[in-house]
């Protein structure tokens, strides 16, 4: 009988959680960027093989909540660690291990759920700097195991996955064996567009960007997709548009290429930049953009 269960992936913003999720399931299900707070809600990635089904839950990075969206993100982390078989704490090894991370281990230890630590980004960590950092984990109570990985280079990830199997406590299959995520294609398209905005824009703009799909329909074997890129201040609109629309055009090209790969067919993508003042504090806008417990 297959062993099955849930594993929550938690850690500081930008630690490399989503990259690790994608590497664990062997497909890109969660967007990745160098900007903190890329992930805004829990994203399930499923790995099924002949003897197990592992349901990984990627979460937003720990943050200080400054608005209603931040509060939703924090709540998502709390939800993710409920009723799981294991908590996988991701630490950026290149950045070192700080007191906040040690405090988080202590906090989760009290939940009584096995804790595995994945120290990631070892491809860019210098061994002589990493070693003393790892030593900080010695003797920390509540850690079942520590794994050093590079999610980006897919190093050590298969060993980690194999090790995590021992924590699975269920026997019921939660997903079909072909499923890799619980999210809809529409959600994935909106996230791809947001990822391209994150990669293109700097400063505070990415944090205030939301994406809303207006329509997605098939016409003559190709997809026609129309979406709004929502910014929270009027002054952000010309920045996202760029000179003569160059920025939004470039975002559109990159997003279209990725969406074509996802959908396996030709895509026509139209993007509109819209201003919704302070939407991150507006409950109905948050709901419309899916930052509520209703969207899949
Ligand atoms: N060199 C290297 N870079 C990595 C690795 N894992 C992640 N990164 C980079 O670190 C940055 C953050 O990665 P994410 O996976 O988005 O991090 P996250 O923890 O999900 O971030 P949030 O969703 O914002 O909390 C991106 O630029 C990744 O390419 C790794 O193993 N090696
Ligand atoms: Mg993430």
- Are both 162 and 192 inside the same structural domain? no
Residue 172 in any domain: the answer is no
- Nearest ligand to residue 151 Cα: 1
**Domain-terminating residue out of 134, 167, 200:** 167
The reply to whether 212 and 258 lie within a common domain is yes
199 and 141 part of one domain = no
pLDDT at site 65: 86
Backbone angles phi, psi at 43, to 5 degrees: -130, 125
161 and 221 inside one domain: no
Atom of ligand 1 nearest to the CA of 37: 24
pLDDT for 296:
45
pLDDT of residue 285: 94
Location of structure tokens 């207006």: 214
Residues 189 and 246 in one domain: yes
Residue 274 within any structural domain of the chain: yes
Which residues of the chain fall below pLDDT 70? Answer: 293-296
121 shares a domain with 230: no
**pLDDT at residue 295, as a whole number:** 47
pLDDT at residue 292, rounded to an integer: 83
Look at residue 294 in the predicted model and tell me its pLDDT: 52
Tell whether 122 is covered by a domain: yes
Provide the CATH number for the domain around residue 10: 3.40.50.300
From residue 27, give the alpha-carbon distance in Å to each of 23, 80, 192: 7, 21, 14
Tell me, yes or no, whether 225 and 160 share the same domain: no
Distance 46 CA to ligand 1 centre (A): 19
Residue 177: inside a domain = no
Q: Are residues 134 and 210 in the same domain?
A: no
Closest CA to 225 of 274, 269, 271, 289: 269
Q: What is the CATH number of the domain that holds 265?
A: 3.30.300.20
Query: How does pLDDT run across 2-54, given as a tens digit for each residue?
Result: 999 999 999 999 999 999 999 999 999 999 999 999 999 999 999 999 999 99
**CA terminus-to-terminus distance, the chain:** 29
**Domain contains 131:** yes
In a domain, 173, yes or no: no
Residue 293: the pLDDT is 66
Domain containing 113: what range? 3-167
Tokens in use for 221? 């074997």
CB atoms within 10 A of CB 145: 15
Q: What's the rounded Cα separation, in Å, for the pair 117 and 11?
A: 10
Residue 31 Cα to ligand 2 middle (Å): 7
- Please give the helix or strand (H or E) that residue 224 lies within, else none: strand 222-231
Which residues are CB-neighbours of 199 under 8 A, at least 6 positions away? 33, 254
Ligand 1, atom 27: closest residue by C-alpha: 34
Q: What is the pLDDT of residue 63?
A: 86
- Tell me whether residue 93 is in a domain: yes
Paired residues of 210 in beta bridges: 230
Q: Tell me, in angstroms, the distance from the centre of ligand 2 to residue 219's CA.
A: 33
Does the residue 174 lie in any domain? no
- Residue at which a domain ends, from 137, 167, 197: 167
One domain for residues 13 and 107: yes
Angstrom distance (rounded) from CA 273 to CA 268:
17
Ligand 2 center to 60 CA (angstroms): 6
- Say what the pLDDT of residue 64 is: 87
Positive or negative: CA dihedral 154, 155, 160, 162: positive
**Do 150 and 9 share a structural domain?**
yes
Number of structural domains the chain divides into: 2
Q: Residue 15 CA: which ligand 1 atom is closest?
A: 19
For residues 95 and 123, membership in a common domain is answered with: yes
Domain finish residue from 117, 139, 167: 167
Question: d(Cα 58, Cα 17) in Å, to the nearest integer?
Answer: 7
Whether residues 115 and 243 share a domain: the answer is: no
């Amino acid at each position: 009988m297959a062993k099955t269960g849930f594993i929550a992936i938690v850690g500081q913003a930008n630690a490399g959680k989503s990259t690790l999720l994608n590497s664990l399931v062997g497909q890109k299900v969660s967007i990745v960027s160098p900007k903190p707070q890329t992930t805004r809600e829990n994203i399930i990635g499923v790995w099924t093989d002949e003897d197990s089904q592992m349901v990984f839950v990627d979460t937003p990075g720990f943050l200080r909540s400054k608005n209603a969206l931040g509060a939703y993100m924090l709540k998502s982390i709390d939800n993710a660690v409920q009723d799981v078989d294991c908590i996988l704490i991701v630490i950026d090894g290149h950045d070192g291990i700080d007191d906040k991370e040690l405090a988080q281990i202590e906090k989760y230890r009290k939940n009584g759920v096995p804790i595995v630590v994945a120290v990631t980004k070892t491809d860019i960590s210098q061994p002589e700097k990493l070693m003393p950092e790892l030593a900080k984990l010695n003797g920390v109570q509540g850690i079942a195991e520590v794994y050093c990985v590079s999610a980006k280079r897919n190093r050590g990830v298969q060993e980690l996955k194999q090790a995590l199997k021992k924590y699975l406590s269920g026997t019921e299959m939660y997903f079909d064996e072909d499923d890799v995520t619980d999210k809809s294609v529409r959600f994935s398209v909106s996230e791809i567009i947001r990822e391209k905005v994150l990669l293109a824009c700097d400063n505070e703009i990415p944090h205030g960007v939301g994406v809303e799909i207006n329509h997605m329909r098939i016409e003559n074997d190709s997809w026609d997709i129309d979406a709004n890129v929502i910014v929270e201040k009027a002054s952000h609109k010309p920045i996202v548009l760029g000179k003569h629309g160059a920025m939004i055009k470039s975002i559109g090209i990159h997003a279209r290429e990725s969406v074509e790969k996802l959908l396996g067919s030709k895509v026509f993508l139209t993007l509109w930049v819209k201003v919704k003042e302070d939407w991150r504090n507006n409950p109905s806008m948050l709901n419309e953009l899916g930052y509520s417990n209703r969207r899949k």
